[in-house]
Amino acid sequence: MKHPLPPLDPLKVFECAARHLSFSEAAKELCITKGAVSYQVKKLEQALDVPLFTRSVRQVYLTEAGQRLQRLVVQVFSQLNEGFAQLKPQTHYDVVIAATTYVAARWLSPRVAKFLQQHPETSVQFEHRVDRSDFTFDEVDVAILWGRCDTPPKVTVLQTMPQPLFPVCRPDLAERLKVEPNFINEVTLLSEGREQDLWLEWFNEAELPNPRQVVADANVRVQAAIDGQGLILADGMMQAELDAERLQRPYQQQLEGYGYHLLSSESRVRNTEAQAMIKWLIQ
């Protein structure tokens, strides 16, 4: 049966370019040329008949359609990984690590890559359902969760990495906020949609007239801030955007008490590879 789908090979290239917001970085990761990345993205745009990136001299940005496709691709790739894993014996994987795609892309993946260079006999499975209600710690060797840690029963906190939160936005918006302090009352606050309103905490529980825009996906929320849609509360994992000056801090105040927690189930029996990986992540 023929499926009316766009070409599938460019989707992998698109996902990589969207994650890095850089054709050059995507080319490095995929071991192809920058021209090949541009060609595959253009091929996908032609198939969908919609632009996915806005190009500039030094940077590419996701369009609204590109943001929607990125969310879809991340979800589909995750489901495919889960499906492929179920087709193989569970013993195929030595270590199972649970983390959101935001944490996996920005912090976890490069560290796991360095570990695997020194332990080529070890294989790793990433589990991205860590924020879903059906997730259980018994399914994984170690999990990374964000927040103020409320440890579930029979779960051990192995390590905590404090990550204060601070507002960031596009540079031109940040400059205006520094010059016109009252302009803050008009700026849209991009939030995660959690029950707890972190913006109220950052503003010391003051009355906020600001409009809210819920963007549940952290990666998309970062892109929304880069696009100038408003302020987001950032942490140290957005350092790449700060270093590249795609985002700036208009204020120096920070919201303390939050961070990332390395957790594990007390009941799960771990093999030596998993124990070595956990020790590596803690270090």
What residue segments make up the domains of the chain, in order of their start?
9-70, 88-163+259-282, 166-243
**pLDDT tens per residue across span 213-226:** 888 888 899 999 99
pLDDT of residue 85: 64
Using DSSP's 3-state secondary structure scheme, residue 265 falls into strand
pLDDT of residue 173: 94
The enclosing H or E element of 23 equals: helix 23-30
CA distance 26 to 3: 28
Q: Give, in order, the Cα–Cα distances in Å from 10 to each of 6, 16, 17, 41, 71.
A: 9, 10, 10, 6, 16
- The CATH number fitting domain 9-70, selected from 1.10.10.10, 1.10.3470.10, 2.60.40.680, 1.10.150.530: 1.10.10.10
* Cα dihedral across residues 246, 191, 61, 106: positive or negative: positive
Angle 104-107-110 (CA atoms, 0-180°, nearest 5)?
Answer: 90
CA distance 109 to 111: 5
88-163+259-282, CATH topology level: D-Maltodextrin-Binding Protein; domain 2 (3.40.190)
Which residues on neighbouring strands pair with residue 98, listed in sequence order?
Answer: 127, 143
Q: What is the mean pLDDT of the chain?
A: 86
CA distance 278 to 119: 13
CA distance 35 to 161: 39
Neighbours of 7 (CB within 10 A): 12
Neighbours of 265 (CB within 10 A): 19
pLDDT of residue 200: 82
pLDDT of residue 207: 61
**pLDDT tens per residue across span 78-121:** 788 777 766 765 544 589 999 998 999 889 988 999 999 988 88
pLDDT of residue 65: 92
pLDDT of residue 88: 61
- The CATH number fitting domain 166-243, selected from 3.90.1170.50, 3.40.190.10, 1.20.120.450, 3.40.50.80: 3.40.190.10
Domains 9-70 and 166-243 in one fold: no
Contact 163, 237 (CB under 8 A): yes
**Total residue length of the chain:** 283
**pLDDT tens per residue across span 223-257:** 999 999 999 999 999 999 999 999 999 988 888 88
Q: How close are the terminal C-alpha atoms of the chain, in Å?
A: 51
